[in-house]
Chain A
Amino acid sequence: MTLAETPMQRERAETIYEKSKPGRRAAALPEAEVPTQPLEELIPANLLRSEPPALPEVAEPEIVRHYNRLSRRNFDLDTGFYPLGSCTMKHNPRLNERVAALPGHARLHPAQDPRRAQGALELMWLLQSSLAEICGLPHVSLQPSAGSHGELAGLLLTRAFHADRGETRSKVLAPDTSHGTNPASVTMAGYEAVKVATNERGGVEMDDLRAKIAEDPDQVACLMLTNPNTLGLFDENIEEIAALIHAAGGTLYYDGANLNAVMGHSRPGDMGFDIVHVNLHKSFSQPHGGGGPGAGPIAVSDRIEPFLPRPQVVRREGENGHGPFFDLDLERPKSIGRLRGFQGNFGVFVRSYAYILSLGADGLAEASETAVLNANYLKARLAEGRAGKRLPVAFDRHCMHEFVLSGKPMKKELGIATLDLAKRLLDFGFHPPTVYFPLLVEEALMVEPTETETKESLDAFADAVEQILAEAESSPELAKRAPYTTPVRRLDEVKATRRPVVRQPL
């Protein structure tokens, strides 16, 4: 079967460097205005650059056209459905962009005197308080820049906590279903990662947990969990799990990637977690930006508070009749120190704070409810027809905000893998769900619709899956060679990795 090319496919990729022509330029810079001297008189010649770097030479209209055309080679959330599991691709409100761009926030230098940055510090403090209430843990640091940064922080806090008690522990437990950042953070924090098994209900296998702790209870530093987990299931044993870890003297860490399921309904602090990270680019609507920026603030219990990173935003009582004011507290003798420069991704805080203000207590609770409703509805739709037979749900019970299907029967009976289904979905105008994660489920498909999708959107997705499966019954080749209509078709990842070309030769 021959296919005509789509216009976008016909347009071959050209980099900005290839559109460059010597002599073209966009920027007009200010005049020096000051008396000038030869550079070699100001800076020794051996420290001066001879050839300027080969940056593009393009005029402004061409720059705009280039990046605009490039942008159209992206699928994005504002355009379509993005059911990536544990990513919480919910709508990114444009109000948040507007307030983040206010010069008072956007043009504020991070080293400005705190007394003249009271708006910013108060915003951070209010965000901290809001997250504390949502998580059920009183002390919050906004410093970590992403979820995995928060995980590293949590593990370093754990280390400091134990060191303060004169203990050295070496192991951190995490379920086999955990996100890859968890064990990666464990190694970066200097611990050994130990896997804990999952039971047939989809929760932590309690006997295995007890066994792993019993092996060496004094060496167990921490258990990292997300609840609901990456299977979208709330672990009913969480209280017992907390008790076991605490009895062994370890801390219990909550990966907040799945917080969207429980906001306003249950709180990790109440579940027994000591340290929680929150992904502002997930539950709190910060746009994902194609791979960041985000933020991963952490909320901790009283006993962990002394070790929080420095600086910490605090509220101080005023003196001499002045009102309370907000400050950056650097006097933190037991702090683990800094995890990055300045105070963190403030622009992200502005957006998430605006989101929390917009939704309020009820809106946040409703967001979680609707997220759970949408997920269960989509799961029910996908339990019908062909999807029900070929893509059975991995754990047959009500899910929370996400669920995992297995493509094992589809692969066996129709000869198409989860990957092929995903690629064919691209032709239908959907971003596929997460594929091949969690590793526990064969040919996994992890689906998280979020609360901001309409019922029609969910129906359209379920219909597309049904159609692809029907196609595959007679013509499996269709999915195996998909996609057909995207700006490029399947890419040779082997070539890219065997002989990596990571920059343009110039």
Chain B
Amino acid sequence: MPEANYPDDLRYHDQHDWARIEGDLAVFGITWYAQDSLGEVVFFDPPEAGTTIQKDTSYAEVESVKAVSDVVAPLSGEIVEVNDALQDSPERINEDPYGEGWLVKVRLTAPAEADALLGAAEYRKLLENG
């Protein structure tokens, strides 16, 4: 994805992760800014389905040729699905960070945590100031 893009229907974490909330489930991924900083992704080391992850803590790593980045959980929950397609095609994270490049699907344990997340406009402002 060549142009910076931050869809309005998502919620954002200041460590450059997004969440798409659908009831008590949520899909997580990394933002355009994160994949752009990292460069071309070569490897995604996923956690296992069934793992519980905590908001604000790292649950996985994404690697480019010259860097490794922690992926931070925007919300707490139990992982119900991992995007296995990334094993063979990690470049989806760069090409479509909000679609095919999704990382994990989670059953939320504390949905109210979403209030602490940023909206698209706020996140864009954070990037401008940072």
Residues in B neighbouring A493, C-beta threshold 8 A:
65-66
Residues in A neighbouring B33, C-beta threshold 8 A:
none
B40 at interface, CB cutoff 8 A: yes
CA A494 to CA B90, docked complex, whole Å: 11
A497 at interface, CB cutoff 8 A: yes
B59 at interface, CB cutoff 8 A: no
Instruction: Name which residue of chain B comes closest to A436, CB basis.
Output: B66
Residues in A neighbouring B123, C-beta threshold 8 A:
none
Residues in B neighbouring A496, C-beta threshold 8 A:
65
- Return A302 CB to nearest CB of chain B, in Å: 41
CA A497 to CA B64, docked complex, whole Å: 9
B42 at interface, CB cutoff 8 A: yes
A98 at interface, CB cutoff 8 A: no
Residues in A neighbouring B65, C-beta threshold 8 A:
493-494, 496-497
Residues in A neighbouring B40, C-beta threshold 8 A:
494
CA A497 to CA B38, docked complex, whole Å: 14
Residues in A neighbouring B43, C-beta threshold 8 A:
497-498
Contact with A along B82-112 (1 / 0, CB 8 A): 0000000011000000000000000000000
- Return A434 CB to nearest CB of chain B, in Å: 14
CA A436 to CA B64, docked complex, whole Å: 15
Residues in B neighbouring A494, C-beta threshold 8 A:
40, 42, 64-65
Determine the interface band of chain A, counting residues with CB < 8 A from chain B: under 10
Residues in B neighbouring A498, C-beta threshold 8 A:
42-43, 90-91
The CB with the most chain A CB atoms within 10 A, among B40, B43, B63, is that of B40
Instruction: Name which residue of chain B comes closest to A496, CB basis.
Output: B65
CA A195 to CA B40, docked complex, whole Å: 28
- Return A423 CB to nearest CB of chain B, in Å: 14
- Return B63 CB to nearest CB of chain A, in Å: 8
- Return B2 CB to nearest CB of chain A, in Å: 16
Instruction: Name which residue of chain A comes closest to B63, CB basis.
Output: A497
CA A494 to CA B43, docked complex, whole Å: 10
Docked complex: B32-66 residues within 8 A CB-CB of A: 40, 42-43, 63-66
Docked complex: A197-219 residues within 8 A CB-CB of B: none
Docked complex: B111-125 residues within 8 A CB-CB of A: none
CA A498 to CA B65, docked complex, whole Å: 9
Residues in A neighbouring B42, C-beta threshold 8 A:
494, 497-498
CA A493 to CA B43, docked complex, whole Å: 13
- Return B54 CB to nearest CB of chain A, in Å: 20
Docked complex: B62-89 residues within 8 A CB-CB of A: 63-66
Instruction: Name which residue of chain A comes closest to B39, CB basis.
Output: A494
CA A494 to CA B91, docked complex, whole Å: 10
- Return B39 CB to nearest CB of chain A, in Å: 8
CA A498 to CA B66, docked complex, whole Å: 12
CA A481 to CA B91, docked complex, whole Å: 23
CA A496 to CA B65, docked complex, whole Å: 9
CA A493 to CA B63, docked complex, whole Å: 13
Residues in B neighbouring A436, C-beta threshold 8 A:
66
CA A497 to CA B39, docked complex, whole Å: 13
- Return B65 CB to nearest CB of chain A, in Å: 4
Instruction: Name which residue of chain B comes closest to A500, CB basis.
Output: B42
CA A266 to CA B104, docked complex, whole Å: 55
Instruction: Name which residue of chain A comes closest to B65, CB basis.
Output: A493
CA A497 to CA B65, docked complex, whole Å: 7
Contact with B along A470-501 (1 / 0, CB 8 A): 00000000000000000000000110111000
CA A213 to CA B64, docked complex, whole Å: 34
Instruction: Name which residue of chain B comes closest to A498, CB basis.
Output: B42
Contact with B along A426-437 (1 / 0, CB 8 A): 000000000010
- Return A414 CB to nearest CB of chain B, in Å: 20
Instruction: Name which residue of chain B comes closest to A419, CB basis.
Output: B66
- Return B66 CB to nearest CB of chain A, in Å: 8
CA A493 to CA B64, docked complex, whole Å: 10
Residues in A neighbouring B66, C-beta threshold 8 A:
436, 493
- Return B17 CB to nearest CB of chain A, in Å: 22
Residues in A neighbouring B64, C-beta threshold 8 A:
494
CA A498 to CA B64, docked complex, whole Å: 9
Residues in A neighbouring B63, C-beta threshold 8 A:
497
CA A493 to CA B40, docked complex, whole Å: 10
Contact with B along A239-259 (1 / 0, CB 8 A): 000000000000000000000
- Return A494 CB to nearest CB of chain B, in Å: 4
- Return A446 CB to nearest CB of chain B, in Å: 16
What are 14 residue pairs bridging A and B, where the CB atoms are less than 8 Å apart in the complex?
A436-B66, A493-B65, A493-B66, A494-B40, A494-B42, A494-B65, A496-B65, A497-B42, A497-B43, A497-B65, A498-B42, A498-B43, A498-B90, A498-B91
Q: 6 other contacts beyond A498-B42, A498-B90, with CB at 8 A cut-off?
A: A493-B65, A493-B66, A494-B40, A494-B42, A497-B43, A498-B43
> Which 8 residue pairs across A and B have the least CB separation, nearest first?
A497-B42, A493-B65, A494-B40, A498-B42, A497-B65, A494-B65, A494-B42, A498-B90
